[in-house]
């Protein structure tokens, strides 16, 4: 990096800077500005309309003593961890299988990616039918002779999160597969040749050589999947509506219900601020890490 | 929402073509009356409005329940794009909008037409009043304190149809024996809290109900009666075990099929029985206050008129307020919807046995204010969450009761 540039660095490359102004303004006003507004109002007792009557941390105290919020956080954690691991694992496995120069690859790719073309609402309704005990999976298995078979996750508070997970992965794994497949295709053919010459088995090549080379692709997938996890809302609304009881509630639904249904903006803002904090807690270390790496290079 | 903006776009396009001023004001009315009987009722109202006035009714139905529609309505009013008139449940749902000066003052129309003389019970008008001014026109009365019973189900189990909660509990073993679900209970929060509140007035009585929800007395909340009500709710959880129901009409349908014996639900359930061709008294039974203390909460719907900058629209709003409370609209609308009229001076002939019971209760003055009138949406929502959690888990009645007391006491 040259430190002895012309004195007015601000005007260096000014056309590009001018072109970026709308984007910068949007980021400042819409993203940062509105987020700050929300954070400020989360310290007020706003009900249906925003009001600047500060009540300190009262909304947060109430939030963290609400069982429904605790259940929501727990659900999101379970769903998040399992969904991230399983989506990556299944996506990678499918990508590797597709990578075997099989016939009709285009066809398989389309089929695998197809669920992603459906909205979460449709996905939720489809899985509601699949998991309905009277004409879904349970009915089919019982029809095959296993009359004692019981599988009703939508009405079992302990299993309902698995139903969400199944539907979520079914919908999202296709995209991961396709992105990872593109990553696999980007690996230099010479790497494979070298591995073969050295007599390394294919599976070892995938895990110990190709996998580490695909870090950036995995990073993309992780970001996409994580964003999907944090905003998890519509699938829950379509599949379970948070039930049975409050067993499948998630934070985003809490925010929506309190802001609009229960007319308590302060409480909704406090909950959404906590969600923002969670996102920042993941993004900031990640960004610092990336920044640090760039500096070193 | 997309639908309405599309429609408005088309309306805008039409306005640029038509010479301005050539047509009388349009009045857009938003509501969530979208089920079969409800839609028929709205049509009646629209017909009478266009017949009696020179204005045009523009229908703004929003599909989904009130919880879907209300946020859309509120955001349109706050966002400076008010509709001509909109449905809310009377009570505190729109209170802040009124306080913020976003709703039209109807006091003059109300005084000119003598609303105070014919609106019965008077609490309906009180729910529309803030600081002595009237801000909404009540249109119907719905009460949630009903226990419906399926005669076919009780017959199959060989027991007499229950006429109160105790009889239902006594009949439960026989019903289970016959493979019949004793209590059809939807697991959504508003339904589980409906059951709780029906018990508060049905088991505790009207005074107790007011002590709990209006005065919010700690003594009443911690009383043995309240403790017993939570115990009864735990019994209800037992009785509804295995139902796996969520939507209320699915639960009502179990009664119609005869595979469930009873359901505690508002009088709107009657629409489902009627649609299935069942007759009150012979196919299904109805018990106000779960067959205990016969009080009904006079909740229901009211029409609010957001403040508008267009004088012509304001005139149309006043005209609609007048039509809604008029005898003709009251008869036609409520007959189609199955709700009770807000006027004490009209006669609904040939109503069925259950509606008759409701009217008699109303005439006897056995009414209590609805939960919407007494509690904020926030507190109501927390009670809904608590009862939903209670029904979906094995939370003990005692713990749930303690949390319930806290929630009600925290109401501002």
Where b means 16+ CB within 10 Å and e means fewer, B258-273 reads bbbbbbbbbbbbbbbb
Q: With contacts defined as CB-CB under 8 Å, which chain B residues touch A270? A: none
**pLDDT tens digits, B354-373:** 888 888 888 888 989 888 88
The CATH number of the domain holding residue A91 is 1.10.3720.10
Q: Report, as an integer, the average pLDDT of A93-102.
A: 89
* pLDDT over 80 at B336, yes or no: no
CATH code reported for the domain at B2-142+299-356: 3.40.190.10
**Confidence category of residue B349, pLDDT binned at 50, 70, 90:** low
Listed range (A33-47, B17-31, B202-216) with the worst mean pLDDT: B17-31
DSSP string, B21-79: TSSPPEEEEEE---SHHHHHHHHHHHHHHHHHSS-EEEEEE--S-HHHHHHHHHHHHHT
| B56-61 vs B284-288, strand pairing mode | unpaired
Taking the CA of residue A183 and the nearest CA in chain B, the distance in Å comes to: 39
* pLDDT over 50 at A239, yes or no: yes
Q: With contacts defined as CB-CB under 8 Å, which chain B residues touch A47? A: 96, 376, 378
Name the residue with higher pLDDT: B200 or B95. B200
B89 vs A: CB within 8 A: no
* pLDDT over 50 at B17, yes or no: no
Residue A11 lies in a domain: no
* pLDDT over 50 at B22, yes or no: no
Taking the CA of residue A206 and the nearest CA in chain B, the distance in Å comes to: 46
**Distance in angstroms (rounded) separating the CA atoms of residues A208 and B205:** 73
- So what's the pLDDT on residue B334? 83
Partners of B28 in beta bridges: B58
**Distance in angstroms (rounded) separating the CA atoms of residues B301 and A296:** 67
Q: With contacts defined as CB-CB under 8 Å, which chain A residues touch B403? A: 67
Residue A290 lies in a domain: yes
* pLDDT over 70 at A94, yes or no: yes
- So what's the pLDDT on residue B86? 94
* pLDDT over 60 at A36, yes or no: yes
* pLDDT over 70 at A163, yes or no: yes
Q: Report, as an integer, the average pLDDT of A22-35.
A: 89
**Confidence category of residue A7, pLDDT binned at 50, 70, 90:** low
Residues A66, A267: contact at Cβ < 8 Å?
no
- So what's the pLDDT on residue A11? 76
**Confidence category of residue A297, pLDDT binned at 50, 70, 90:** low
Q: What is the strand order of the sheet B260-265 is part of?
A: B181-183, B260-265, B146-150, B284-288
- Classify domain B146-297+375-409 at the CATH topology level: D-Maltodextrin-Binding Protein; domain 2 (3.40.190)
- So what's the pLDDT on residue B11? 52
- So what's the pLDDT on residue B390? 95
DSSP state of B39: H
Q: With contacts defined as CB-CB under 8 Å, which chain B residues touch A244? A: 187, 244, 391-392
User: Any idea which residue has 């307020």 for tokens?
Assistant: B321
Q: Report, as an integer, the average pLDDT of B407-412.
A: 86
**Confidence category of residue B383, pLDDT binned at 50, 70, 90:** very high
- So what's the pLDDT on residue A182? 92
* pLDDT over 70 at B19, yes or no: no
Identify the helix (H) or strand (E) that includes residue A129.
helix A120-131
Taking the CA of residue A155 and the nearest CA in chain B, the distance in Å comes to: 6
Percent of chain B at pLDDT exceeding 90: 53
Name the residue with higher pLDDT: A193 or B351. A193
Q: With contacts defined as CB-CB under 8 Å, which chain A residues touch B93? A: 263
* pLDDT over 70 at B4, yes or no: no
Stated length of chain A: 297
Percent of chain B at pLDDT exceeding 70: 93
Residues B93, B377: contact at Cβ < 8 Å?
yes
Contact A49 B380 (CB under 8 A): no
Q: In which domain, by residue range, is A282 found?
A: 19-296
Residue A44 lies in a domain: yes
- So what's the pLDDT on residue B103? 93
**Distance in angstroms (rounded) separating the CA atoms of residues B42 and B32:** 10
A142 vs B: CB within 8 A: no
**Confidence category of residue A240, pLDDT binned at 50, 70, 90:** confident
Taking the CA of residue A24 and the nearest CA in chain B, the distance in Å comes to: 26
Domain count, chain A: 1
**Distance in angstroms (rounded) separating the CA atoms of residues A213 and B387:** 52
What values do phi and psi take at B266, rounded to 5?
-70, 170
User: Any idea which residue has 């595979």 for tokens?
Assistant: B259
**pLDDT tens digits, A51-76:** 888 998 999 999 999 999 999 999 99
Residues A293, A286: contact at Cβ < 8 Å?
no
B283 vs A: CB within 8 A: no
Residue A234 lies in a domain: yes
Please tell me the pTM assigned to this model. Answer: 0.80
- So what's the pLDDT on residue A283? 79
Residue A214 to residues A181, A217, B324, B338, Cα–Cα distance (Å): 10, 5, 68, 65
**pLDDT tens digits, B95-120:** 888 998 999 999 999 999 999 888 88
CA dihedral sign of residues A146, A152, A153, A156? negative
* pLDDT over 80 at B294, yes or no: yes
**Distance in angstroms (rounded) separating the CA atoms of residues A21 and A27:** 10
- So what's the pLDDT on residue B15? 45
**Distance in angstroms (rounded) separating the CA atoms of residues A74 and B233:** 27
Name the closest residue on chain A to residue B79, using Cα atoms.
Answer: A49
* pLDDT over 70 at B20, yes or no: no
Selected residues 218-257 of chain B with any CB under 8 Å from a CB in chain A: 244, 246
Q: With contacts defined as CB-CB under 8 Å, which chain B residues touch A241? A: 188, 246
Q: Is B139 helix (H, G, I), strand (E, B) or coil?
A: coil
Domain ranges in chain B with CATH number 3.40.190.10: 2-142+299-356, 146-297+375-409
Residues B404, B383: contact at Cβ < 8 Å?
yes
Percent of chain A at pLDDT exceeding 70: 96
Residue A9 lies in a domain: no
Q: With contacts defined as CB-CB under 8 Å, which chain A residues touch B67? A: 261
Residues B142, B267: contact at Cβ < 8 Å?
yes
Q: Residues near A60 by Cβ (< 8 Å), separated by ≥ 6?
A: A42, A270, A274
Contact B392 A133 (CB under 8 A): no
- State in Å, rounded, how far the first CA of chain B is from the last one: 33
**Confidence category of residue A251, pLDDT binned at 50, 70, 90:** very high
Q: With contacts defined as CB-CB under 8 Å, which chain B residues touch A263? A: 93, 96, 376-378
* pLDDT over 70 at B13, yes or no: no
- So what's the pLDDT on residue B350? 63
**pLDDT tens digits, B235-280:** 999 999 988 888 888 899 999 999 999 999 998 888 788 878 888 8
Residue from A246, A253, A257, A259 whose CB has the most chain B CBs within 10 Å, to mutate: A246
**Pick from B367, B378, B180: which is nearest to A270 by CA?**
B378
User: Which among B244, B376, B380 is the nearest to A155, CB-wise?
Assistant: B244
Write the Ramachandran bin of A199: left for phi over 0, alpha for psi from -120 to 50, otherwise beta: left
Contact B381 A257 (CB under 8 A): yes
- So what's the pLDDT on residue A139? 85
Q: Report whether the peptide linkage leading into residue B180 is cis, meaning its omega lies within 30 degrees of zero.
A: no
**Distance in angstroms (rounded) separating the CA atoms of residues B378 and B390:** 18
**pLDDT tens digits, A272-288:** 999 999 888 877 887 88
- So what's the pLDDT on residue B145? 93
Taking the CA of residue B26 and the nearest CA in chain A, the distance in Å comes to: 28
Name the closest residue on chain B to residue A246, using Cα atoms.
Answer: B389
Name the residue with higher pLDDT: B299 or A22. A22
Structure token pair of residue A258: 């309190």
């Amino acid at each position: 990096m040259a430190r002895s540039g012309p004195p007015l660095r601000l005007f260096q490359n000014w056309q590009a800077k001018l072109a970026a102004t709308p984007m910068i303004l949007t980021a400042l006003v819409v993203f940062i500005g509105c987020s700050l507004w929300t954070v400020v109002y989360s310290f007020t007792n706003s009900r249906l309309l925003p009001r600047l009557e500060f009540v300190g941390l009262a909304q947060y105290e109430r939030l963290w003593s609400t069982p429904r919020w605790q259940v929501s956080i727990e659900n999101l954690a379970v769903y998040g961890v399992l969904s991230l691991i399983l989506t990556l694992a299944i996506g990678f496995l499918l990508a590797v299988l597709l990578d075997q120069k099989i016939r009709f690859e285009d066809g398989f790719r389309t089929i695998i990616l197809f669920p992603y073309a459906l909205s979460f609402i449709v996905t939720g309704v489809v899985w509601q039918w699949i998991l309905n005990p009277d004409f879904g999976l349970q009915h089919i298995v019982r029809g095959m002779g296993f009359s004692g078979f019981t599988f009703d996750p939508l009405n079992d508070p302990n299993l309902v999160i698995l139903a969400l997970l199944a539907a979520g992965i079914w919908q999202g794994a296709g995209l991961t597969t396709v992105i990872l497949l593109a990553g696999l295709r980007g690996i230099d053919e010479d790497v494979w040749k070298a591995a073969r010459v050295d007599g390394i088995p294919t599976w070892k090549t995938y895990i110990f050589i190709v996998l580490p080379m695909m870090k950036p692709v995995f990073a993309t997938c992780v970001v996409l999947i994580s964003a999907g996890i944090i905003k998890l809302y519509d699938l829950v609304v379509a599949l379970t509506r948070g039930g049975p009881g409050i067993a499948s509630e998630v934070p985003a639904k809490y925010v929506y219900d309190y802001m609009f249904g229960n007319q308590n903006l302060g409480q909704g803002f406090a909950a959404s601020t906590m969600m923002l904090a969670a996102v920042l807690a993941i993004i900031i270390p990640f960004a610092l890490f990336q920044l640090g790496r760039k500096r070193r290079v | 929402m997309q639908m309405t903006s599309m429609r408005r776009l088309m309306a805008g396009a039409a306005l640029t073509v038509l010479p301005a001023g050539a047509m009388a004001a349009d009045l857009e009315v938003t509501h969530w009356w979208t089920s079969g009987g409800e839609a028929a009722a709205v049509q009646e109202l629209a017909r009478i409005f266009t017949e009696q006035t020179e204005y045009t009714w523009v229908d703004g139905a929003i599909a989904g329940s009130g919880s879907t529609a209300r946020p859309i309505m509120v955001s349109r009013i706050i966002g400076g794009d008010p509709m001509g008139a909109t449905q809310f449940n009377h009570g505190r749902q729109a209170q802040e909008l009124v306080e913020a000066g976003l709703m039209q003052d109807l006091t003059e129309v109300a005084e000119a037409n003598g609303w105070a003389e014919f609106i019965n019970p008077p609490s309906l008008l009180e729910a529309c009043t803030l600081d002595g001014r009237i801000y909404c026109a009540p249109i119907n009365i719905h009460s949630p304190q009903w226990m419906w019973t399926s005669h076919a189900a009780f017959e199959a189990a060989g027991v007499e149809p229950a006429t109160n909660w105790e009889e239902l509990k006594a009949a439960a073993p026989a019903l289970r024996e016959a493979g019949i679900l004793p209590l059809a209970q939807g697991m959504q929060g508003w339904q589980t809290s409906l059951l709780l509140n029906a018990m508060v007035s049905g088991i505790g009585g009207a005074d107790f109900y007011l002590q709990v929800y209006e005065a919010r007395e700690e003594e009443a909340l911690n009383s043995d009666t309240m403790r017993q009500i939570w115990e009864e709710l735990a019994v209800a959880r037992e009785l509804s075990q295995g139902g796996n129901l969520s939507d209320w009409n699915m639960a009502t349908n179990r009664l119609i099929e005869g595979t469930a014996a009873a359901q505690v639900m508002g009088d709107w359930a009657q629409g489902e029985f009627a649609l299935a061709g069942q007759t009150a008294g012979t196919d299904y039974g109805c018990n106000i206050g779960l067959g205990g203390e016969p009080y009904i909460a006079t909740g229901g719907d009211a029409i609010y008129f957001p403040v508008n900058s267009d004088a012509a629209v304001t005139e149309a709003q006043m005209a609609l307020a007048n039509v809604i409370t008029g005898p003709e609209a009251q008869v036609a609308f409520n007959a189609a919807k199955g709700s009770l009229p807000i006027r004490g001076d009209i006669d609904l002939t040939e109503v069925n046995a259950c509606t008759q019971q409701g009217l008699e209760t109303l005439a006897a003055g056995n009414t209590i204010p609805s939960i919407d009138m007494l509690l904020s949406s926030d507190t109501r929502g927390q009670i809904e969450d608590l009862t939903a959690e209670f029904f979906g888990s094995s939370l003990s009645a005692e713990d749930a009761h303690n949390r319930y007391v806290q929630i009600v006491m925290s109401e501002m």
